[in-house]
Amino acid sequence: MKIEPSSLEASKILSAVSYFAELDSRTLETITRSASSRVYDPDQLVILEGEPASGLFVVEYGWLKVSKIAMDGREQILQFLRSGEVFNAVSVFTGAPNPATVTALETTRLWMIGREAMLRLLDSNPGMARQVIQDLAGRLTHLIALVEDLSLRTVEARLARLLLEQSTGDRVPRKKWATQTEMASRLGTVPDVVSRTLRKLADRGLIRIGRQEILILDRTELEVLARIEV
């Protein structure tokens, strides 16, 4: 279902995003007029890999996953997206087809700015161009780290690192959609292996597994484990 954005609402949301934070009010108003919003239901497809890029997306609320799907149906999750993040920048600024599939994990509202509007904005705002370059460099670093994890580290080490990255203090909240299947797709393995590895970490006294969160009991040892290579 499409929802027509109000100018004030769109301006407030876009100005909080790093890409647009330094734009003057007139430029922000111009880009706001080209923005449209849509609410997606859980499991609804937002972007399909290989399709032409429609524009840049900004997450107002909700969670999404970015993934690659193999011919046999296996999924590798590349990234999770949440409020305030942008995605589809690579396709927008290169003109290449969408490099991955994006799916809503829960009720999610997105704002989309068309590709042509973004290209005009980039041409006329060097400061924004620098911000885009920094963002894309950060995404490249993330993908390099992901390749390193999948190639050089055990599932146990990858899981330890994931728990540390997702923790707030010593607590790792468990979203309703954060199943072991989703975790396995993030780690490049299968749910049974994730289940066994979580039990192993719990048996060693490194974590305690609850229904709504995982508690980190020994952060130091978990950090050591996260650095172990194959």
pLDDT band at 2 (very low <50, low <70, confident <90, very high): very low
**What residues have CB less than 8 Å from 136, skipping those under 6 apart?**
89, 90, 93
CA distance 86 to 102: 12
d(CA 109, CA 104): 9
b/e per residue, 45-84, with b = 16+ CB within 10 A?
Answer: ebbeeeeebebbbbbbebbbbbbeeeeeeebbbbbbbeee
| Orientation angle between helical segments 115-124 and 25-33, nearest 10 degrees | 170
Q: What SS3 state is found at 2?
A: strand
pLDDT in tens, 84-110: 999 998 888 888 899 999 999 999 999
pLDDT of residue 230: 56
- Pick from 36, 28, 27, 34: nearest CA to 11: 28
The pLDDT value recorded for residue 112 is 93
**What is residue 1's predicted lDDT score, i.e. its pLDDT?**
41
Domains (ranges, CATH) in the chain?
2-150 (2.60.120.10), 154-226 (1.10.10.10)
Question: Per residue in 175-228, pLDDT tens?
Answer: 888 888 989 998 989 999 999 999 999 999 999 999 889 999 999 999 999 887
DSSP string, 30-99: HHHHTEEEEEE-TT-EEE-TTSPP-EEEEEEES-EEEEEE-TTS-EEEEEEE-TT-EE-HHHHHH-PPPS
Of the given ranges (2-6, 28-32, 105-109, 196-200), which has the lowest mean pLDDT? Answer: 2-6
State the alpha helices, DSSP H only, in 78-179.
Answer: 89-94, 115-124, 126-152, 155-166
Closest by CA position to 79, among listed 176, 172, 192, 165: 165
pTM of the model: 0.77
| Confidence band, pLDDT 50/70/90 cuts, at residue 3 | very low
